A and B are shown apart, each in its own frame.
Chain A
Amino acid sequence: MSNVSLLARPVSIERRGNLAMATEKSVRVRSYEDDVSIRVRAIESILSEKGIIDKGGVDEIIDFFEHKIGPRNGAKVVAKAWTDPQYRKWLLEDSTAAIASLGEEFVGLQGEHMKVMENTPEVHHLITCTLCSCYPWPTLGLPPMYFKSTSYRARCVKEPRAVLKEFGVELSDSTEVRVWDSNSELRYMVLPMRPEGTDGMSEEQLADIVTRDSMLGTEIPKV
């Protein structure tokens, strides 16, 4: 961990992972990126030889998150709440139990304890995590880059309206913006308002218009 190198080459924005605007040419930082792939290989190979991890298990859990987990589960929760008033009531009162009732993988790792908040004309909910990037994996999958970015994490709790504007969401001054900082182990999800013009739609059709971002409060679902 001791080699300090000059990070002289520009790193493209989409590859940064974390939008640090450390000025590439003037700031001396240890360029972990240069050998991180080797360090990860080294750790994996040592743990494997010690019998602590299993290659098949590592492969499977990666595959599980890439192919079986994502915001579809959350969208199903929202669509059900939009069509079933009893379910909506339950969801807002005991989110974890109501979400768990929809399927085996709807609660689990980083979604053991859930709270759902309903957007209304009076209150708009926005979710962030200022300390790290805690996120409800079972209902929404792994977090998008923006949720993990320094910019979003720094600004949401202080200037949420400016943040929302960058996402194209402009709210009336009379609407309260309520920002939820995921600072402990309770994970949040927004129940967006059902858009107009969706009266005849089935639960399945409704689930298709529920976006990941609308369950974080950074988007208003549209038909």
Chain B
Amino acid sequence: MPILTADKVADFFKNGAPVMLDEKVAPRFKSGDRIVGKNIHPKGHCRLPRYVRGKRGEIVEDHGVWIFADTNASGRDQKPQHLYTVIFTHEELWGADASPRDTVVMTLYDDHMDHA
């Protein structure tokens, strides 16, 4: 087991703990795709925020293949998949009274979305 001693601190910080993987996994989405957040309620860790479940957004960018945080939190199953930047309008999230101009952006994994 590696022990963090004083001389290893700077390298530990610099190297960090990258979660992007150099693996080939087919993406389910591409930029410009309309998506809907899945209506799921897993009992474990979940990075799909409740306020975008069932909400429609648009893929802005594909960031490649990442360790899936949801499964990595329990049992360390990496379940590699694509991570995307997704944009939602305030009106979609908060209704007709919301600002017509404002938006919310987040990153979601393949397992979090369906095509709208």
Q: List the interface of chain A (C-beta within 8 A of B).
A: 51-54, 56-61, 64, 69, 104-105, 107-113, 115, 130-131, 138, 157-158, 160-161, 173-186
Contacts and interface: CB of A to CB of B under 8 A. Distances in A.
A183 B101 contact: no
A176 B101 contact: yes
Q: Which of A69, A111, A112, A183 has the most chain B CB within a 10 Å cutoff?
A: A183
B6 A178 contact: no
Contacts of A108: 13-16
Considering residues A52, A53, A157, A176, which has the most beta carbons from chain B within 10 angstroms of its beta carbon? A157
Contact of B106 (A57, A161, A180): A180
B36 interface: no
Contacts of A57: 3-6, 8-9
B1 interface: yes
A110 B15 CA distance: 10
A110 B18 CA distance: 9
A178 B19 contact: no
A43 to B, nearest CB: 15
A116 to B, nearest CB: 13
B63 interface: yes
A168 B91 CA distance: 25
Contacts of A59: 6
Give the top 7 A-B pairs by smallest Cβ distance, nearest first: A60-B6, A57-B4, A112-B16, A181-B106, A56-B6, A184-B107, A112-B18
Interface residues of B, number: 41
7 contacts: A51-B3, A60-B6, A113-B63, A177-B99, A178-B87, A178-B105, A185-B69
With a 10 A CB-CB cut-off, give which of B49, B93, B105 has the most chain A CB atoms: B105
B102 A160 contact: yes
Given A112-B19, A183-B106, A104 B14 contact: yes
Contacts of A105: 10, 13-14
A109 B63 CA distance: 19
Contact of A52 (B3, B10, B103): B3
A131 B4 contact: no
Given A60-B6, A111-B16, A178 B1 contact: no
Given A59-B6, A60-B6, A161-B99, A112 B17 contact: yes
A60 B3 CA distance: 13
B101 A173 contact: yes
B10 A176 contact: no
Contacts of B107: 183-184, 186
B90 to A, nearest CB: 8
